[in-house]
Structures are given as C-alpha cells and as structure tokens.
Chains A and B, each alone.
Chain A
Amino acid sequence: MTLLQFRDLSVDYTSNDGMVPAVRGVTLGVEAGETLGIAGESGCGKTTLASTVLRLLPDTAQVRGEVLLDDVDILTMKWGRLRAVRWSQAAIVFQGALHALNPVQRIGDQIAEPIRLHQSVAEKQINSRVDELLTQVGLPASRAKSYPHQLSGGQRQRVMIAMALACKPALIIADEPTTALDVMVQAQVLDLLTGLVRDLGTGPAGGMGMILISHDLGVLGTTCDRIAVMYAGQVIESGPALEIFDNPKHPYTRALAAAFPRIGDPAARYAPTGLPGDPPFPGDLPTGCAFHPRCPIAVPACKLGAPALVEVAPSRMAACFEVES
C-alpha cells in the first residue's frame, strides 16, 4: 500500500530576483513498511520536498503537482482537515537542536501536546502514554519533567523521536536526524529509529513507513530499503539502497559514495574523490543537465538537453545520457 506519493512536484520560492526553483518535477513514492532514504548535499531541495508533506512551506513558496498522503492530495486539502492530518497521519523528526524545542516548556508537556490535540484521552492516560514513549526511546520516565536545555544532544533527539511517535502516525519523516550528533550517539539514534519503525506496525496493510533524509550516503546505505539521490531539485538516481551504495550509476552518486571512505577497503583510499566546484545556486541553474559543469564524463549533449529519470537496470532509475546508453 502506498503511504505517500509525490507526483511531478515542483516548488518555487519567490524572491527579490524572481522565482527560484527548489524542487523540479519530483515523482517518488513510499510504501507501507518501507524506509526511503533521500540523499543529497545542502540546497538540493530535500528539506523543501519533505516540508510539502505536511504543507509547512512559507507563504513565499509556490507549489505545483500533487502530494498524495493515503491517496488524498495534501496540497488541496481544506485547512481544518490538514490540521487533523498533521502529526496523526505523518510526523516529522526535526534535528534535535536546542531551538527545535520550546525552551520554556517541559519535555513531557511537549510530547503530550499532539496527543491532547488529536485524541480525546483522559489526563491519566496521557501521562502513562508519555512515559511509555519515553521508555520506548530509551529515556527514563522522570525526564518528562525536564526542560530541553537540561538534556544532551542525543537525549533531545530521542525526545524528538518520542514526540513523532506520539499519535502513532503511518509515516515518519526524519530530516537529518543524526547531523550535529557525535558518531557514537549517531549509531545509537539510528538503531533506535529503525528499530522502532520496524517494530511498531500500524494500519491494516503493513508497518510504518519512513523517509530518512541525509547528506550522508553511508548512513542511508545501512538503514534504508530504497534510496533516491537528489541534485539541484531533481531526483537523479533511485533504487535499492545497498545496490546504490555498492554500485552507483550516476556520476554524482559515484562521487557522493566515494566521499565516504570504507574502512578496510584499501582500494577506496586511492580512488580519486571530491568534485570540482560547488552545487549550483537554485536561481542560476546551468542549461541542460544541471550536473554537467562538474561531471567527469560530460559530453556536449549534456549541455543541450536535460536527461529524464529512466530505468537503466531492473528497479534502478538514473537521469544521465551516458548511463542510459
């Protein structure tokens, strides 16, 4: 069962210099019980894409296309219905920075807030649900009385996860959940997240779905079922996670994979890494394929036309003329 479906989604921001395209024609889906990873550097549009799921974009954003959550288009939903859907059908795990939580409110109250909003539940039951959630993420129930600044970064991230699970949503979107955490804590949080999504099934047709957004291909490779790689607002490669990680096809994905060395693989230490230049500024995109100025295998055709995302191997999609042929 398809939980979420992006259909030819485009998002433009109005700015002083005109319209800036952040997401350009993305079509992507997430099934129940599946974890989809979205990889890409900053500015590639992955956060904007995630923000459309609950319609959290600022007023300066103009959206075209469809975002189907449980087969209903979020973008044309009435305001009241949207508020009911938020958090109860899909929830977001933000980066657990100090400012992502209300500094003057206790953790327990912040976790309880969506429960109170979406479910008519007695006070006592709310408290025990909060305790249950805290225990699930590995925090002592006494932490409910703490304020955000009294917790460490890793603990705050766990609180974010507990909060997201509060209303038992069908879909979780985790936006860079491990950035800004120490490596050891990163591993713990990832294990926790993937474990919970696997264990807490919901709905008649399968488990919880998750979208994991990160610039770290290594993280996505080990935790996701499928990965979609974004560059300059478009999906340029997608397929099963391990295959993408072991055998990337698009030149950008290759560079991304090579940037994360594998310990114990001597060949990786000598392979050339890094790409010249910077990702393009969304308001100033190159003609044709957006990647061609930095691409090691570019040919003249790349400047003239943009390649479409097509199937280049069984269940592998890529947008590159060279890979197609």
Chain B
Amino acid sequence: MGSKVLRAFITLAFVVMFNFFLFRMLPGDPIGLYARGRNQDPEQLVELRRALNKPLLEQFITYLRNPFDSTIDSTRFSRPVWEMIGERVWPTLLLLGTAILLASLIGIWIGIRAGWKPGGRFDRMSTGTTLILYSMPEFWLGMMLLIVFSVGAFGIPGMFPVGGISSPGVDTSGPMGWLNVLWHLVLPCTTLVLIYLADYALVMRASLIDERKQEYLTLARAKGLRDTMVRKRHAVPNALLPTVTLIFLSLGFVVTGAITVETVFSWPGLGLLTYEALRGPDIPLLQAIFLMFSIAVIVANLIAELLYVVFDPRVRS
C-alpha cells in the first residue's frame, strides 16, 4: 500500500513540475503571456520581469517552497488565487457529488438489468440509449435542456432558472434558501447525471456479462436458488467490484463535464472559474486550477486502488 501512495506522490510531483516549467520554457516573452490582452499596471510588470529574470532554478525552488502561495494574485481579479479557488470549491462539490451519486445508482441499475439478459428488449433499448448519451457533448445537452425547460420550447413551458446557484436576494442559509438552490440544481445536475450514467451503465453491463459465464453461478442454480437470488447474491457482488473501481477512475471524465456544464448554467464553481480564467487568459489562476483538479483526480485514483484492496478478498491476503 505504501508503494501506491508513493506513486501517487511522484505523479503529483510531476504535475507541479509540469505546471511550473510549461509557462517558463516557451520561446518568446513570458511577460507577454502574462499580460496578454490586459492592461497591466506598469509597476507590476517591472516587478514581474525582475522576478522572472532570476535564474530558473532559483525560481523553481521558490515555487516549490509553497505552490499554494496565497500571495499569488489572479491577474484578472486581483485577488489571491487560492482564495478564489476556496470559494468556488463547494458549489462544484455539491453539483458533482449529487450527480455522481445519482448517476452511479441509476447507471448500475440499468447495467445490471441489461447485462443479466443480454440481447433482450431492455438491453437493446438501454444500450442504444446509453450509446447515444455517450456520444453527446454534455454542454450541448445542457443548452438544449435550458432552451426546453428554462426558456420553454416545443410547447413545454419554462419552469427552471436560466442559471446560477440561487436567485438574487435569496438567503441561502435557511431552508427556503436551500429549496431555491435545489431548484437551481435540477437542470445542471440532470445534464451531468444523463452523461455520466451512460458510462457507468455500459461498464456494469460488460462486467456482468463476463460474470455470467462463471461456473459458480451454475452451482448456485443447482442448489435451487431462484434466478433473482443467483443474480443478487452471487453475480452482482462479483461484477460490482471492477465497476466501482472504474467509477472512481473515471473522475477525469467527470471533471471535464463539470467545466463545460458549469459554464452553460453559470454555476459558480471551479468549472465556471476555469472558463472565466480562460477569457483572460489568467495564467496564475489557470495554473492553480490545473493543480487543484490534478490533485483531486490523483487522490481519487489512489482511493480507487485502496478500495479494491479492501473489498476484494483475493487481493487482501
């Protein structure tokens, strides 16, 4: 287990190095990169140029001492970068957490029903649907849902807000505020759930189809168990293991969805922050966001590997 943590740490180290060197090692004036499109305070520029003229190694060590330096300012917002990230983390967690939970439950249920009787009617319908969802850009689905359910189209009245996490003037600390947030959560969450569940359903289905061929299931039937019991007690627990691991490992895919969907729905999380940072481009902010996302995904991968050890008795000993 120690080696897994070590490997995660090494991956992280490379992320930090990559983050630092990418922007420094390109030809051309790095100041130009930082100041692109913005009117920078000339004093700030001089200061920046002096810092960048120091030897590369010295800069790197300074950076390493604290990559989470809270004094690095966003060039666009003129506020400490990590302060901004701290603010935006919770909305993203709310959105992604809810979406992943719902998508897992629904996706796994679909996958089990489809995989247990492959070629059957449910399987053909659901596999067709999930393949289409899998081929869909998530932000496009979000935009279409907005048009239909928020603005109203094709005869359906608009019932949901056009964006944001809460209506202006609503106090989000009380239960009425929470309801308001929930109302805003519906469309972006639905978008993500639809996209994520396609992946999970396909994986669970494939896993169960493989499991069906195993001999211990014939043994279970020979003992007199009904088909549903054979599925629930024997096949699914075995097929679930690789599926859950894969769900954790697909966090990179989840992050991609978050960025674009938050943009479409103006959901004030890390994803929208990324989009705003892109408009600059706000390099310090982008670097920090990249670091943040990478850490999240590396940690999720590590959890996936450790979970496998905990839940699979074959690996435990």
Q: Are A and B in direct contact (Cβ within 8 Å)?
A: yes
* Contact surface of A with B, Cβ cutoff 8 Å: 54, 56, 83-88, 91-92, 94, 97, 99-105, 113-114, 117-118, 147, 149-150
Q: Which residues of B contact A88 (CB under 8 A)?
A: 224
B314 at the binding interface (Cβ < 8 Å): yes
> Are B216 and A86 touching (Cβ within 8 A)?
no
> Are A149 and B314 touching (Cβ within 8 A)?
yes
Q: How far is the CB of A102 from chain B (nearest CB, A)?
A: 5
Instruction: Give 26 pairs: A residue, B residue, CB < 8 Å, sorted on A.
Output: A54-B222, A83-B224, A83-B225, A83-B226, A85-B224, A86-B222, A86-B223, A87-B222, A92-B219, A92-B222, A94-B215, A94-B219, A99-B215, A100-B215, A100-B219, A101-B219, A102-B220, A102-B238, A103-B313, A103-B314, A104-B314, A105-B237, A114-B224, A117-B224, A147-B314, A149-B313
| Cα–Cα distance between A45 and B79 once the two chains are bound (Å) | 79
Q: How far is the CB of B164 from chain A (nearest CB, A)?
A: 46
What's the tally of chain B residues with a CB closer than 8 Å to chain A?
Answer: 20
| Cα–Cα distance between A94 and B216 once the two chains are bound (Å) | 9
| Cα–Cα distance between A149 and B225 once the two chains are bound (Å) | 23
Interface string of B206-233 (1 = CB under 8 A from A): 0000000011101111111110000000
Q: Which 6 A-B pairs have the closest CB atoms?
A: A86-B224, A114-B223, A83-B224, A147-B313, A100-B215, A87-B223
Q: How far is the CB of A156 from chain B (nearest CB, A)?
A: 11
Q: Which residues of A contact B312 (CB under 8 A)?
A: 104
Residue of A nearest to B226 (CB): A83
Q: Which residues of A contact B222 (CB under 8 A)?
A: 54, 56, 86-87, 91-92
Q: Which residues of B contact A114 (CB under 8 A)?
A: 223-224
| Cα–Cα distance between A117 and B230 once the two chains are bound (Å) | 12
| Cα–Cα distance between A132 and B170 once the two chains are bound (Å) | 68
Q: Which residues of A contact B219 (CB under 8 A)?
A: 92, 94, 100-101
> Are B313 and A113 touching (Cβ within 8 A)?
no
Task: List 4 other contacts, CB 8 Å, given A86-B224, A94-B215.
Answer: A56-B218, A100-B216, A104-B237, A147-B313
Within 302-317 of B, Cβ neighbours of A (below 8 Å) are at: 312-314, 317
B88 at the binding interface (Cβ < 8 Å): no
| Cα–Cα distance between A149 and B216 once the two chains are bound (Å) | 13
Q: Which residues of A contact B162 (CB under 8 A)?
A: none
> Are B214 and A99 touching (Cβ within 8 A)?
yes
B241 at the binding interface (Cβ < 8 Å): yes
| Cα–Cα distance between A102 and B214 once the two chains are bound (Å) | 9
Q: How far is the CB of A167 from chain B (nearest CB, A)?
A: 9
Q: Which residues of B contact A147 (CB under 8 A)?
A: 313-314, 317
Q: How far is the CB of A74 from chain B (nearest CB, A)?
A: 13
> Are A117 and B223 touching (Cβ within 8 A)?
yes
| Cα–Cα distance between A260 and B41 once the two chains are bound (Å) | 95
| Cα–Cα distance between A99 and B238 once the two chains are bound (Å) | 12
| Cα–Cα distance between A91 and B234 once the two chains are bound (Å) | 19
> Are A102 and B234 touching (Cβ within 8 A)?
yes
Q: Which residues of B contact A97 (CB under 8 A)?
A: 215
Q: Which residues of B contact A102 (CB under 8 A)?
A: 216, 220, 234, 238
Residue of A nearest to B229 (CB): A117
| Cα–Cα distance between A176 and B264 once the two chains are bound (Å) | 63
Q: Which residues of A contact B226 (CB under 8 A)?
A: 83
| Cα–Cα distance between A85 and B312 once the two chains are bound (Å) | 33
Residue of B nearest to A85 (CB): B224
> Are B238 and A104 touching (Cβ within 8 A)?
yes
Q: How far is the CB of A70 from chain B (nearest CB, A)?
A: 16
| Cα–Cα distance between A127 and B234 once the two chains are bound (Å) | 21
> In the complex, which of the residues A92, A94, A99, A117 contacts B225, with contact meaning CB atoms closer than 8 Å?
A117
| Cα–Cα distance between A307 and B226 once the two chains are bound (Å) | 43
| Cα–Cα distance between A117 and B214 once the two chains are bound (Å) | 22
Q: Which residues of B contact A56 (CB under 8 A)?
A: 218, 221-222
Q: Which residues of A contact B218 (CB under 8 A)?
A: 56, 94
Q: Which residues of B contact A150 (CB under 8 A)?
A: 317
Residue of A nearest to B225 (CB): A117
| Cα–Cα distance between A100 and B237 once the two chains are bound (Å) | 16
> In the complex, which of the residues B214, B224, B234 contacts A87, with contact meaning CB atoms closer than 8 Å?
B224
| Cα–Cα distance between A54 and B209 once the two chains are bound (Å) | 24
Q: Which residues of A contact B314 (CB under 8 A)?
A: 103-104, 147, 149
Q: Which residues of A contact B214 (CB under 8 A)?
A: 99
Q: Which residues of A contact B220 (CB under 8 A)?
A: 102, 113
Within 229-266 of B, Cβ neighbours of A (below 8 Å) are at: 234, 237-238, 241
| Cα–Cα distance between A118 and B313 once the two chains are bound (Å) | 28
| Cα–Cα distance between A118 and B222 once the two chains are bound (Å) | 12
Q: Which residues of A contact B234 (CB under 8 A)?
A: 102, 105
Q: How far is the CB of B309 from chain A (nearest CB, A)?
A: 14
Q: Which residues of B contact A94 (CB under 8 A)?
A: 215, 218-219
| Cα–Cα distance between A254 and B186 once the two chains are bound (Å) | 77
| Cα–Cα distance between A97 and B215 once the two chains are bound (Å) | 9
| Cα–Cα distance between A87 and B35 once the two chains are bound (Å) | 78
Most buried by A among B215, B224, B225: B224
Residue of A nearest to B213 (CB): A99
